[in-house]
Amino acid sequence: MKLEILYEDDHMLACVKPPGVPSQSDKSNDEDMVTIVKNYIFENSNSNDEPYVSILHRLDRPVGGVMIFAKTKEAAAKLSGQVKDGTMIKYYQAVLTGELPEEFGELTDYMVKDTKTNMSKICKKDTEGAKKAELTYELLDEFETDDGVLSYVLIELITGRHHQIRVQMANLGCGVWGDTKYNPKFKKVKKGVKQIALFSSRIELLHPVTGERMVFKKEPYGKAFDVIELDEF
């Protein structure tokens, strides 16, 4: 697979993960982003040593978009710190099946992950293993279709919980288009789709060495977003 590079230097690399590709190795043994990035760096270097690559955040397999990787341990530590303290800002675009209650909203829930099913759910604050999940959304456009209203939204992910956007939006009654795990409108689909209408479209961060503010963008693409007419935001 040819890697789409948005930015690269000696410390970090920003690229685009295609929908359907795992962020890191899993039981499927399919080619994953960590391996793809390592191979790219190795093939373009003069060293025979295995390159250092650290994954800083993950995208679900059916989700595409911008990803950031560190190329040194020092950069990994600094960028991981930005993920934890919120300095790294992550935006997603999504198509939801349903009408949102407000054009602008903030969702705060508590979530727990079931490792047996690899699914998460909304729970009470005092549930064992519960973690706080926060995001904000802005309605960009709304479409009337034969199957009901589709809402095109921009989401800022404040925390990074397992399947967070998918779970919180489904809980709001507006699941992500194509999501066979959490959207009731797609649960009857026998086989999971390779792409759902959720895309990591923008990441902002501070360069781990220079401190420069950097922005990496990629507009959504693929069949899951063909259900609406996309404009750039």
Q: What pLDDT is attached to residue 1?
A: 78
Mean pLDDT of the chain: 92
Average pLDDT on 137-155 reads 93
Please check whether residue 51 is in contact with residue 14, taking contact to mean a CB–CB distance below 8 angstroms.
no
Average pLDDT on 30-55 reads 90
Distance of CA 10 to the CA centre of its chain: 24
pLDDT at residue 195 greater than cutoff 60: yes
pLDDT at residue 203 greater than cutoff 60: yes
Return d(Cα 124, Cα 130) in angstroms, integer: 7
- Give 4-225's CATH code, choosing from 3.40.367.20, 3.30.2350.10, 3.40.50.720, 3.40.190.80: 3.30.2350.10
> In the chain, what is the greatest distance between 2 CA atoms, to the nearest angstrom?
57
pLDDT in tens, 56-74: 999 999 999 999 999 999 9
Q: What pLDDT is attached to residue 233?
A: 41
Local structure of 30: helix, strand or coil: coil
DSSP H/E element including 81: helix 73-85
pLDDT at residue 49 greater than cutoff 90: no
CB-based contacts of 55, cutoff 8 Å, min separation 6: 23, 24, 33, 34, 67, 69
Q: What pLDDT is attached to residue 46?
A: 80
Percent of the chain whose predicted confidence (pLDDT) is above 90: 80
pLDDT in tens, 149-193: 999 999 999 999 999 999 999 999 999 999 999 999 887 775 656
Q: Check residues 182 and 46 and name the one with the higher pLDDT.
A: 182
pLDDT at residue 139 greater than cutoff 70: yes
159-164: Cβ within 8 A, 24+ apart: 159/131, 159/132, 159/133, 159/134, 159/135, 160/57, 160/83, 160/90, 161/111, 161/113, 161/120, 161/131, 161/133, 162/111, 162/113, 162/120, 163/60, 163/119, 163/120, 164/111, 164/120, 164/133, 164/135
* 222 Rama sector, left if φ>0, alpha if ψ -120 to 50, beta otherwise: left
